[in-house]
C-alpha cells in the first residue's frame, strides 16, 4: 500500500510529526512519501496513492493556506480513498482545550468540504528558544492562558507519540480493508 503524507508547518513540529508518520508507515511494510504543501510538485499524482494523511498546524486559530489549497485542489481524490487529517495545536495538549482544538478541525473541514475517514488532534510544541520577546508574550498570555507554569525556560514538546502511533496504525489497517 502507498500512503501520501502532506503537511504544512510553521515552526517545524508538524514537519516532525509528518515525517514520523511516514517512517512509521514504512517501518510497518508499506510505502510512504511525505511532502510539504508549500513545495508540492505540480505533477504529484495523488490518485496514485492508496491513502492520504494530511497534517497541519494551527496558528491564530486557523490552519495554513497551503494545506487548505492542497485539500481543495485534490478534494476529488481525497474523497475516493481513505484519508486522514492530523491537526496540530497547543490547545490539544490541554484537557480544557480539546473542544477548542476540535473547533479548528470543524472549521477546516467546513471550509474545504472534505470529510476525511479519520481525524486526530495532536498536541504541538513550545519552542521558547526560538521566540522573540513579543512572540513569547503572546504564547504565554494568549495561547497558554492559565494552562502552564508562569515561568517556562526551555522548549517543551507535548505530542503524544504513542497516541499518534495508534491512530496511524489503525488508519493504515482500516485502509487496507
**Predicted local confidence at residue 29, as pLDDT:** 97
Cβ partners under 8 Å of residue 48, min gap 6: 2
Question: In this structure, is residue 153 part of a structural domain?
Answer: no
Range of the structural domain that residue 55 is part of: 2-125+159-176
Number of domain units in the chain: 1
Distance in angstroms (rounded) separating the CA atoms of residues 83 and 85: 7
**Domain at 8, CATH number:** 3.40.50.360
Distance in angstroms (rounded) separating the CA atoms of residues 24 and 32: 9
Distance in angstroms (rounded) separating the CA atoms of residues 129 and 150: 16
Over the stretch 69-78, which tens digit does the pLDDT of each residue have? 999 999 999 9
The DSSP annotation for 71-102 comes to HHHTHHHHHTS-EEEEEEESGGGSGGGHHHHH
Q: Categorize the per-residue pLDDT at 7 as very low, low, confident or very high, splitting at 50, 70 and 90.
A: very high
Range with the lowest mean pLDDT among 26-30, 56-60, 152-156, 160-164?
152-156
**Predicted local confidence at residue 25, as pLDDT:** 98
Question: In this structure, is residue 141 part of a structural domain?
Answer: no
Q: How far is CA 64 from CA 7, 13, 86, 120, in A?
A: 9, 14, 13, 17
Mean local confidence (pLDDT), 55-60? 93
Question: In this structure, is residue 145 part of a structural domain?
Answer: no
- The β-bridge relationship of strands 31-36 and 2-7 is parallel
Displacement of CA 156 from its chain's centroid (Å): 18
Q: Is 61 in contact with 104 (CB distance < 8 Å)?
A: yes
- Higher-confidence residue of 157 and 138: namely 157
Nearest residue to 57 (alpha-carbon basis) of 11, 21, 88, 17: 88
Q: Categorize the per-residue pLDDT at 20 as very low, low, confident or very high, splitting at 50, 70 and 90.
A: very high
Question: In this structure, is residue 152 part of a structural domain?
Answer: no
**Predicted local confidence at residue 41, as pLDDT:** 63
Question: In this structure, is residue 151 part of a structural domain?
Answer: no
Instruction: Indicate left, alpha or beta for 61 from its phi (over 0: left) and psi (-120 to 50: alpha).
Output: left
Nearest residue to 6 (alpha-carbon basis) of 101, 78, 58: 78
Nearest residue to 14 (alpha-carbon basis) of 71, 60, 67: 67
**Predicted local confidence at residue 153, as pLDDT:** 66
Amino acid at each position: 500500500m502507498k500512503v501520501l503524507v502532506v503537511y504544512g508547518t510553521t515552526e517545524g513540529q508538524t514537519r516532525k510529526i509528518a515525517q514520523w508518520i511516514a517512517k512509521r508507515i514504512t517501518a510497518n511494510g508499506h510505502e510512504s512519501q511525505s511532502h510539504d504543501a508549500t513545495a508540492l510538485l505540480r505533477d504529484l499524482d495523488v490518485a496514485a496513492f492508496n491513502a492520504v494523511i494530511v497534517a497541519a498546524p494551527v496558528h491564530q486559530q486557523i490552519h495554513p493556506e497551503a494545506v487548505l489549497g492542497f485539500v481543495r485542489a485534490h478534494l476529488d481524490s481525497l474523497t475516493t480513498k481513505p484519508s486522514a487529517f492530523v491537526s496540530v495545536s497547543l490547545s490539544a495538549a490541554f484537557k480544557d482545550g480539546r473542544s477548542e482544538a476540535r473547533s479548528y478541525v470543524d472549521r477546516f473541514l467546513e471550509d474545504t468540504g472534505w470529510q476525511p475517514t479519520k481525524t486526530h488532534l495532536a498536541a504541538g510544541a513550545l519552542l521558547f528558544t526560538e521566540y522573540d520577546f513579543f512572540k513569547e508574550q503572546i504564547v504565554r498570555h494568549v495561547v497558554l492562558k492559565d494552562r502552564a507554569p508562569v515561568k517556562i525556560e526551555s522548549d517543551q514538546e507535548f505530542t503524544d507519540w504513542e497516541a499518534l502511533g495508534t491512530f496511524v496504525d489503525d488508519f493504515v489497517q482500516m485502509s487496507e480493508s
